[in-house]
Amino acid sequence: MDKTNEIRRINLEISMKFSNIGVHLSHAKSIAGLFETLFAAIEKEFAVPFVWLTLVDNENAAPVIAAVESSGVLKERLCVIPPALFEHILPAGVQPVLANKELQPYYKLLPPANKFFVKSLAIIPFKVRDEIAGSWNNGDVLSDRYLPDMDTGLLQKLGQKVSLRLTELVSGNK
C-alpha cells in the first residue's frame, strides 16, 4: 500500500471512531451519562490518558455543573471557572484549541484535585442553548500529541454533537 492510501486509511479509521462516539452520545439519557460516555469513549478509542471538563460558572451551565458534581466518575475531573476567565483563556469561541507550548494559561482549566502532567492539550468548547458552557479537555504527557497546526474539524464536529445533546438534556427534550 502506498503512503497516500495508508494516510487515507488512517484518516478513515479516525473519522469512524469519532462518528461512533457521536452515535453513543446521542443515546445518553442524562447529562452525567453524556460526559461519562464521552470520557470513556475518548480514553478507549484514542488512548487519551487525561480527560476532564471545565465548566463556566453561570446560570446557563448550572444544571450541567450540578449533574457532573453528582457523578462519582466525573466530580474529580471537573474544574469550574468564572466566565471572564474562560473567555480570556479561550477567546476563539467554539473553535477547538490545540496546544503544546506555553501551557501555563491553560492550567487554570485543570481540576484542582488533579494536576495532570500534561505536555499537550486539546480543548474542545461546547454550548448549552447557544451559550458557551465549558470545554471538554484532552491532555497527554506526549508533547507532540496535540500540535497547534493539526486539523480540528473532527473535534469540532464532536463538540457540536456534545452541544446539541447537552442542550436537549438540559431542556428536557430527551
Reported as a pLDDT band with limits 50, 70 and 90, residue 173 is: low
* Structural contact between residues 43 and 51, judged by C-beta atoms closer than 8 angstroms: yes
Give the Å distances, CA to CA, from 109 to 62, 94, 166: 17, 16, 20
| CATH code for residues 3-171 | 3.30.450.40
Tens of pLDDT along 108-167? 999 887 667 899 999 999 999 989 999 999 999 999 999 999 999 999 999 999 999 999
Total-model pTM: 0.92
